[in-house]
Amino acid sequence: MTAAASIRTARREDAATILALIRELAEFENLLDQVRASEEDVLRDGFGPSPRFECLLAELDGQAVGFALFFHNYSTFEGRAGLYLEDIYISPAARSSGLGRAMMIRLAGIAAERGCARLDLWVLHWNPAREFYRKLGFGHMEDWLPYRLEGEVLTKLAGEDRS
């Protein structure tokens, strides 16, 4: 990592920057049409009275060029919390600067400091970053398949609650 590169904890005043980087990530993944998050959402859920996520910003020459958004999960088998990395992104111009590795080192440090049992993430099957994660020591979990309930189906199932 160059001397002008740094990783820092995001602050409330970074909400617009975080959202811009989320949109940049979504564009990279060809999913920009799915971004519904607003600056108000970022402020409420990242910096409000009950934060639901934490965020690191990667900077190069004082300019934000990447982010890592994460939160705690919990392993019933381990009986300990873990960290779930929802998104990590480094802008194309800043790739190969060491910021991605520095971000992952910082996240591993946070997990270790907090006594977390693991650091989890998902990655799209076509994403070239898969090799980056493998080199860091992440293992691909072939036996576990992601499932999701969302939108109208989620609302419909929730409506069946008779308690």
Residues tagged active-site: 133
85-92's contacts with Cβ under 8 Å and 24+ in sequence apart are 85/119, 85/120, 85/121, 86/53, 86/121, 87/22, 87/25, 88/121, 89/21, 89/22, 89/24, 89/25, 89/28, 90/58, 90/65, 90/66, 91/21, 91/24, 91/65, 91/66, 92/28
